[in-house]
């Protein structure tokens, strides 16, 4: 087999994993852009999507599309509930406090899922078969196409929502300046609530759509969440194209790293590049420079 | 300053008396770990509580200390004390070099960067199998010894570890009550204002970062030489979060709070004996509830609760170690 | 009147107390350290379940010489620090006479100095051969050495005239021990490892590593890991259309793997303990009786299939039971009697310990199986 063929496969594999990271990264970016919060429990929302779908399919014997719909609704509920119970009652949220609360939330959700369900890994059926599709000399699975499609839809919807709807604009205003947003009559708390619900929905969709490939278990959210976070940071925490490019870049680097350099160090390579990006361009590769607010 | 000395001496007395109470039992073994964790929480608190800089990769420095010590003594037959010094110097230098670019970052970016750093270090422990023994660990690390006394049982280790812990506490107390301590707190409150006032914030942050790494590395060496076995799983992201939890629960910017937090979290399994399987849930809840309702940690929170109960109209907060 | 009723109450309490404490001889306490949570929970959970189950059964049948067994289990979460703390607690506070576990090689290596120092017999449930090589006075193990599984695989490859292999191992304790043994034994069997790659325990896509393997001279792929990684690899192999034979380790010898990998599992060959094929074993097989009782009980108790990981704990409890029956319940007696155990047919194999061998098994502990139509078939 030619090296060029191998590289084609590395690139394609990288793109398909990268799309997963991007999809999860958008969830981070949405919350950040409307609330200035990095939700460390985002990975757990992704996990909940997969686990709820499994629950509705296996325990309630519902068909896949119905299960997916219910799972998304259930996760939106969880995201909203989390915001209501932990973020809302805070009197004076500091960045440090928020980081720690969401880390606590991620541990809590993981623990509950582990005890209520189990510690096993489960698989979900692929949406449309698992016959590999040949592109040139490289292959991908039909499920990857679903991921690409959902990612594209997510960026478009995100763009439309934040640019053209009143709620979307209000959410952006909250991120820019909470106090000013409150002064012009925006219900800031409501917007924070919305953003958690939305990212819960998007996160769960991501979790459901990747589950046939990655499988799902109570702790699957840790690594996926981390990589999604990475993607968002590389992309400069912008809701749309930046995060997607960040995710794809991360995926490709990982895949090339594993194939050409060392599979054991591939995650280290990804994180070293992340650090370098942060050192050189702290605002992310695709983010705009920001000045300190005093 | 006099009150501080009394408090410190009181702690020394308590530390000396504990072995009489718990004797050779299992609690003494737990107290050894409490000592190591107290050092780590203290180191993190200097950075997190006083300078206001988050680190989610603290377990990495702890691990580096342990591994440098472990590898130098097993593969190169170095004396454990020399290995410990080399480990501390190495980690301090490393932190100093990385500190400059990393501490330019703020908030979430700093959290992500330190997290990434911790993960990179963890991966190296796992993958450099020839040196570190890989995931199944490094065994046969020798105990420390002084003038014929080998630190090989709980009682001796207790005094060894707590000796180091008390020294670190003393140094830290000195530091935070000095001019540097005040400068640090000014960075915490507003870095820009601190800079305007003539505090060289950048250098100071890096120095504290390096000091914090240095104490963690010493704790790592001590851990390696008392356990005689180390494996990467003890130095992962989870442990970094555990350390942050200790600091938060004990109290940010409180030296004694760190010790309290470390003691509480190390003994948590003991307290949760009846519902072992639920400890992950208790853990998550603790983090959330403490941050929400007792952001000052136990050292500030408990007196506040008491004064509220007594109906005193004294304003809460502002308490310090 | 009031005083009288208090006296009655006291007397009643005392009698309850007396009944509990003095009527039956004190229970024999056995400690257990399992990674019930954390990444190695796939080991720890079935181990704890099996140990609890077999202790209940022994007690239901009247205990050992009229004395009940009491199992004290602590969860280590896969962390060496917690394992050492828990071991100290078992020895110094619970005063157990023997310890079963820990589940992983790393934790076992961490706990081993404690057992040696305190003089308490420890039966590890982990596979790493360095646990009992060199032999330590107080340490035994029930999990088959990884080297035995490797020999079984290499013998098969020799029969198939395959000499160039690619290995893909998971970067955790299980995988790194397998990788070490695969590399150490290769030359002895005339096998050349042409690709030596790893993957992370939480990785979700291994097409990069497999693409590299596809481009190499390898004639077979050996994958060493535990769920879910190998299932991902099986699917990726199918996706990439790799036609090389795929060989796995005993880490996936449970129905769970077949369920996760689905159609991609067909044709995979792996060495396994006899648990999964207990039905098709000839009745002359020494282990058949133990195996069938374990499989049946586990199914009844937990409504899921028992696997050979649980079997390690089952074996450990039964070995201790045998030792106590023969020599009494002091730690020293248990240790001495464990060392004298010969021909004990358990779940992991037929154990024969000796002063120079505290692992007690040979390569017959493994059989080679192939996955056909979502079920196991013995490879002759």
> pLDDT of C254-295, one tens digit each?
888 998 998 899 999 999 988 888 888 888 888 888 898 898
**A99-103, B104-108, B163-167: least confidently modelled range:** B104-108
Contact check, Cβ <8 Å, B285/A108:
yes
Contacts of B66 in chain C (CB under 8 A): none
Nearest CB neighbour to B284, from listed A38, A95, A108 = A108
Does C10 score more than 60 pLDDT? no
Are C125 and C43 found together in one domain? yes
**Residue A158: pLDDT over 70:** yes
* Residue B72: CB atoms within 10 Å: 21
Band (C354; pLDDT cuts 50, 70, 90): very high
- Chains A, B: CB contacts within 8 A come to 109
Interface A-C: count of C-beta contacts within 8 A: 100
H helix or E strand, kind and range, residue B138: strand B138-139
CA of A68: how far to CAs of A50, A71, A219, C261, in Å?
A: 9, 5, 20, 22
Residue B107 pLDDT = 79
pLDDT digits (tens, 9 = 90+) for B224-267: 999 989 999 899 988 998 899 899 889 888 999 999 999 988 88
Alpha-carbon span C160 to C183, nearest angstrom? 19
Looking at the domain covering A16-130+138-280, what would its CATH class be?
mainly alpha
Q: Do A274 and B292 touch (CB under 8 A)?
A: no
DSSP 8-state secondary structure symbol assigned to residue C304: S
Asked if residue A230 lies in contact with residue A270, where contact means CB atoms within 8 angstroms, the answer is yes
Q: Angle C146-159/C173-186 helices, nearest 10 degrees?
A: 50
Looking at per-residue confidence, does A126 or C8 come out higher?
A126
State the chains in contact with B (3 or more Cβ–Cβ pairs under 8 Å).
A, C
Give the separation between CA B209 and CA B140, rounded to whole angstroms: 31
- Residue numbers of B between 82 and 121 with CB closer than 8 Å to C: none
Task: Confirm if A53 and A71 have CB atoms less than 8 A apart.
Answer: yes
- Among A271, A276, A283, the strongest candidate for a mutation testing the B interface, having the largest count of B CBs within 10 A, is A271
Predicted confidence (pLDDT) at residue C355 exceeds the cutoff of 90: yes
CB-nearest partner of B192 from A32, A99, A292: A292
Q: To the nearest whole angstrom, how far is the Cα of A133 from the nearest Cα of chain C?
A: 8
Based on its alpha-carbon atoms, the radius of gyration of chain A, rounded to whole angstroms, reads 19
Q: Where are the alpha helices (DSSP H) in A92-219?
A: 95-116, 142-164, 166-176, 178-183, 188-214
Tell me which of C211, C241, C272 is where a domain ends: C272
8 Å CB contact of B119 and A271 = yes
Instruction: For CA atoms C193, C154, C146, C281, give the dihedral sign.
Output: positive
Whether residues C193 and C220 share a domain: the answer is yes
- Is there a contact between B135 and C84 if contact means CB atoms under 8 Å apart? no
B274 touches chain C (CB under 8 A): no
- Enumerate the residues of chain A whose CB falls inside 8 A of the CB of residue B284: 104-111
- pLDDT of amino acid B318: 43
Contact B291, A101 (CB under 8 A): yes
DSSP letter, residue B278? G
Q: Which of B48, B120, B288 sits opposite A101 (nearest CB)?
A: B288
Q: Which of B15-24, B98-107, C198-207 bottoms out in mean pLDDT, i.e. has the lowest?
A: B15-24
Task: Say yes or no to pLDDT of C22 above 70.
Answer: no
Question: Does A255 sit within 8 Å of C212, measured CB to CB?
Answer: no
Looking at residue C102, its pLDDT comes to 94
What pLDDT was estimated at residue A239? 66
Q: Residue B313 pLDDT more than 50?
A: no
Tokens (6 digits) for B76: 């190169």
Q: How confident is the model at residue A219, as a pLDDT?
A: 87
Query: What is the C-alpha separation between A131 and A140, in angstroms, rounded?
Result: 9
pLDDT interval class at A162 (50, 70, 90): confident
Cβ contact A268–B119 (<8 Å): yes
**Length of chain A as a residue count:** 294
- Asked whether the beta carbons of residue B277 and residue C93 sit closer than 8 angstroms, the reply is no
- B314 confidence band (pLDDT: 50, 70, 90): very low
- On whether the CB atoms of residues C75 and C35 are closer than 8 A, the answer is yes
CB-based contact B105 A89, cutoff 8 Å: no
Q: Which of A134-138, A223-227, B189-193, C363-367 has the least mean pLDDT? A: B189-193
Q: Which carries the bigger pLDDT value, residue B249 or residue A282?
A: B249
Q: Is residue C32 part of a domain?
A: yes
**Tokens at B55, concatenated:** 């680190």
Cβ-based interface (< 8 Å): residues of A facing C:
1, 3, 5-6, 9-10, 13-14, 16-17, 20, 114, 119-123, 130, 132, 139-141, 210, 213-215, 217, 219-220, 222-224, 254-256, 258-259, 263-264, 266-267
Q: pLDDT at residue A289 above 80?
A: no
pLDDT of residue B98: 94
Claim to verify: residue C84 and residue C170 sit in the same structural domain: no
Whole-number pLDDT of residue C331: 94
How many Å apart are CA C24 and CA C68, to the nearest integer?
9
* Token pair listed for A257: 């790293």
CB C48 within 8 A of CB C7: no
Give tens-digit pLDDT for B150-205.
998 888 999 999 999 999 999 999 998 888 888 888 887 777 777 777 778 888 99
- B52 CB neighbours in chain A (<8 A) are 96
Q: What pLDDT sits at residue A188?
A: 85
Minimal C-alpha gap between C252 and chain A (Å): 12
Q: Does any domain span residue C156?
A: yes
User: So what's the pLDDT on residue B64?
Assistant: 97
Contact A115 B112 (CB under 8 A): no
* Angstrom distance (rounded) from CA B303 to CA B308: 8
Cβ atoms of B1 and B170 within 8 Å: the answer is no
| Residue C184: band (very low, low, confident or very high) from pLDDT cuts 50, 70, 90 | very high
The mean pLDDT value of chain C amounts to 88
The secondary structure of chain C in percent helix, strand, coil, rounded to multiples of 5, reads 50, 20, 30
Residues C338 and C255 in one domain: no
Q: Is C368 helix (H, G, I), strand (E, B) or coil?
A: strand
Closest Cα of chain A to B279: distance in Å? 8
What's the confidence (pLDDT) of residue A293? Answer: 43
- Whole-model pTM: value is 0.89
**HEC readout, C37-88:** CCCCHHHHHHHHHHHHHHHHHHHHCCCECCECEEEEEEECCCCHHHHHHHHH
What average pLDDT does chain B have? 87
A227-236, A276-285, B136-145, C130-139: least confidently modelled range: A276-285
pLDDT at A292 over 60: no
**Confidence band of A242 (pLDDT split at 50, 70, 90):** confident
Q: How far apart are CA B76 and CA B138, in angstroms?
A: 14
Q: Does C6 map to a domain?
A: no
Of B54, B109, B280, which is closest to A282 when you measure between CB atoms? Answer: B109
Most confident of A168-177, A252-261, B89-98, C165-174: B89-98
Domain count, chain C: 2
C-alpha–C-alpha distance, residues C311 and C308, integer Å: 5
C198 and A1 within 8 Å at the Cβ level: the answer is: no
In a domain, C368, yes or no: no
Nearest to C211 among A6, A140, A214 (CB): A6
Closest-CA distance of chain C to residue A103, Å:
17
Which structural domain, as residue segments, surrounds residue C210?
Answer: 147-272
- Residue to mutate among C72, C173, C183, C199, with most B CBs inside 10 A, is C173
In a domain, C282, yes or no: no
CA nearest to B230, candidates B96, B160, B134, B309: B134
Could you tell me which residues come within 8 angstroms of residue A59 by beta carbon, excluding any fewer than 6 positions away? none
Q: Which residues of chain C neighbour A114 with C-beta distances below 8 Å?
A: 37
Q: Are B197 and B20 in contact (CB under 8 A)?
A: no
- A121:C227 CB<8 A: yes
- Which chain A residue's Cα is nearest to C260? A123
Residue A221 above 70 pLDDT?
A: yes
Residue A252 sits at the vertex; the CA angle it makes with A247 and A254, to the nearest 5 degrees, is 95
| In-domain check, residue C369 | no
Over the stretch B259-298, which tens digit does the pLDDT of each residue have? 999 998 888 777 766 666 677 788 888 889 888 888 888 8
> Rounded to whole angstroms, how far apart are CA atoms C323 and C329?
8
Residue C1 has pLDDT above 50, yes or no: no
Contact A258 C235 (CB under 8 A): no
Please, what is the average pLDDT of chain A? 87
Best A33, A35, A37, A104 residue to mutate vs chain B (most B CBs within 10 Å): A104
Strands C367-372 and C269-272: antiparallel
Q: What is the DSSP string of C138-157?
A: TEEE-SPPHHHHHHHHHHHH
Given pLDDT bands bounded at 50, 70 and 90, which one contains residue C8? low
| Tokens 């250098």, located at residue | B203
Judged by CB atoms within 8 Å, which residues 186-215 of C form the interface with B? 198
Tens of pLDDT along B25-80?
A: 788 888 999 999 999 999 999 999 888 888 999 999 999 999 999 999 999 999 99
> C301-345, pLDDT tens digit by residue?
888 888 888 999 999 999 999 999 999 889 999 999 999 999 999
For residue B196, the distance in angstroms to the closest alpha carbon of chain A comes to 12
Judge whether A37 and A96 are in contact, CB under 8 Å. Answer: no
Q: Going by DSSP bridges, is the β-strand pair C344-345/C350-351 parallel, antiparallel, or unpaired?
A: antiparallel
Pairing outcome for strands C220-224 and C246-248:
parallel
Q: Give which of B237, B291, B282, B238 is closest to B264, Cα–Cα.
A: B282
């Amino acid at each position: 087999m030619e090296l060029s063929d191998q590289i084609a496969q590395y690139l394609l594999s990288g793109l398909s994993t990268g799309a997963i990271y991007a999809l999860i990264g958008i969830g981070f970016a949405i919350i950040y852009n409307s609330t200035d919060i990095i939700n460390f429990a985002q990975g757990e929302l992704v996990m909940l999507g997969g686990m709820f779908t499994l629950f509705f399919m296996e325990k309630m014997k519902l068909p896949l599309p119905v299960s997916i719909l219910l799972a998304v609704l259930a996760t939106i509920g969880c995201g909203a509930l989390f915001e209501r119970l932990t973020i809302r009652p805070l009197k004076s949220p500091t960045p440090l406090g928020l980081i720690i609360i969401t880390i606590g939330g991620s541990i809590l959700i993981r623990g509950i899922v582990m005890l209520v369900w189990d510690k096993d890994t489960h698989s979900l059926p692929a949406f449309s078969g698992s016959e590999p599709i040949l592109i040139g000399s490289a292959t991908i699975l039909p499920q990857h196409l679903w991921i690409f499609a959902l990612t594209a839809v997510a960026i478009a919807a995100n763009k439309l929502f934040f640019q053209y709807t009143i709620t979307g604009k209000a959410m952006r205003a909250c991120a820019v300046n909470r106090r000013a947003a409150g002064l012009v009559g925006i219900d800031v708390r409501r917007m924070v609530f919305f953003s958690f619900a939305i990212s819960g929905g998007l996160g769960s969709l991501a979790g459901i759509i990747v589950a046939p490939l990655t499988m799902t278990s109570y702790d699957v959210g840790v690594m996926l969440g981390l990589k999604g976070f990475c993607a968002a940071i590389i992309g400069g925490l912008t809701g749309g194209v930046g995060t997607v490019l960040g995710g794809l870049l991360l995926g490709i680097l990982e895949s090339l790293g594993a194939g050409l350099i060392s599979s054991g160090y591939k995650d280290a390579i990804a994180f070293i590049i992340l650090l370098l990006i942060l050192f050189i361009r702290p605002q992310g590769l695709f983010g705009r420079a920001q000045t300190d607010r005093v | 300053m006099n009150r501080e000395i009394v408090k410190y001496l009181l702690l020394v007395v308590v530390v000396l008396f504990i072995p009489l109470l718990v004797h050779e039992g299992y609690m003494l073994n737990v107290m050894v770990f409490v000592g190591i964790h107290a050092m780590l929480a203290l180191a993190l608190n200097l950075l997190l509580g006083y300078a206001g800089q988050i680190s989610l990769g603290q377990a990495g420095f702890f691990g580096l200390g342990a591994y440098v010590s472990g590898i130098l003594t097993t593969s190169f037959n170095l004396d454990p004390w020399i290995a410990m010094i080399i480990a501390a110097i190495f980690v301090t230098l490393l932190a100093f070099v990385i500190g400059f670019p990393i501490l330019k970052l703020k908030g979430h970016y700093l959290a992500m960067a330190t997290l990434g750093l911790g993960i990179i270090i963890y991966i190296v422990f796992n993958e450099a199998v020839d040196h570190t023994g890989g995931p199944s660990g490094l065994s046969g690390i020798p105990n420390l010894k002084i003038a014929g006394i080998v630190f090989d049982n709980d009682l001796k280790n207790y005094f060894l570890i707590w000796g180091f812990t008390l020294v670190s506490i003393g140094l830290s107390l000195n530091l935070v009550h000095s001019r540097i301590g005040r400068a640090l707190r000014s960075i915490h409150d507003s870095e820009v204002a601190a800079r305007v006032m003539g505090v060289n914030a950048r250098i100071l942050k890096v120095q504290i970062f390096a000091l914090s790494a240095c104490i963690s590395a010493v704790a790592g060496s001590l851990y390696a030489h008392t356990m005689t076995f180390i494996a990467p799983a003890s130095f992962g992201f989870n442990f970094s979060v555990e350390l942050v939890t200790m600091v938060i629960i004990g109290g940010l910017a409180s030296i004694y709070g760190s010790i309290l937090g470390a003691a509480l979290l190390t003994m948590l399994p003991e307290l949760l004996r009846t519902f072992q399987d639920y400890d992950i849930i208790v853990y998550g809840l603790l983090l959330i509830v403490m941050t929400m309702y007792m952001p000052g940690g136990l050292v500030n929170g408990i007196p506040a609760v008491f004064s509220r109960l007594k109906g005193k109209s004294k304003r809460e907060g502002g308490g310090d170690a | 009147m009031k005083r009288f009723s208090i006296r009655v109450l006291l007397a009643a309490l005392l009698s309850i107390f007396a009944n509990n404490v003095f009527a039956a001889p004190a229970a024999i306490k056995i400690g257990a350290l399992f990674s019930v949570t954390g990444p190695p929970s796939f080991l720890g959970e079935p181990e704890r379940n099996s140990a609890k189950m077999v202790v209940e059964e022994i007690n239901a049948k009247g205990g050992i010489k009229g004395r009940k067994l009491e199992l004290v289990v602590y969860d280590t979460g896969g962390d060496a620090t917690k394992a050492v703390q828990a071991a100290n607690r078992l020895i110094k506070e619970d005063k157990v006479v023997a310890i079963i576990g820990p589940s992983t090689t790393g934790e076992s290596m961490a706990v081993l100095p404690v057992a040696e120092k305190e003089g308490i017999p420890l039966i590890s449930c982990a596979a790493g051969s360095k646990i009992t090589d060199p032999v330590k006075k107080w340490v035994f193990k029930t999990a088959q050495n990884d080297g035995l599984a490797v020999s079984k695989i290499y013998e098969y490859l020799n029969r198939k005239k395959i000499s160039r292999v690619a290995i893909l191992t998971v970067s955790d304790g299980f995988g790194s021990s397998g990788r070490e043994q695969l590399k150490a034994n290769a030359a002895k069997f005339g096998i050349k490892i042409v690709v030596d790659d790893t993957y992370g325990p939480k990785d979700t896509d291994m097409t990069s590593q497999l693409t590299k393997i596809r481009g190499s001279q390898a004639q077979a792929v050996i994958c060493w890991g535990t769920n879910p990684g190998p299932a991902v690899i099986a699917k990726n192999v199918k996706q990439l259309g790799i036609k090389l034979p795929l060989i796995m380790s005993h880490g996936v010898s449970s129905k769970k793997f077949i369920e996760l990998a689905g159609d991609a599992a067909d044709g995979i060959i792996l060495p396994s303990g006899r648990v999964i094929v207990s039905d098709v074993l000839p009745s002359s097989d020494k282990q058949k009786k133990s195996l069938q009782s374990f499989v049946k009980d586990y199914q009844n108790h937990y409504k899921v299939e028992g696997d050979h990981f649980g079997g390690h704990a089952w074996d450990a409890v039964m070995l201790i039971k045998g030792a106590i029956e023969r020599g009494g319940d002091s730690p020293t007696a248990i240790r001495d009697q464990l060392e004298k155990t010969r021909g004990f047919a358990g779940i992991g194999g037929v154990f024969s310990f000796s002063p120079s061998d505290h692992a007690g098994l040979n390569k017959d502990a493994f059989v080679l199986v192939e996955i056909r139509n979502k079920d196991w078939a013995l490879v002759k």
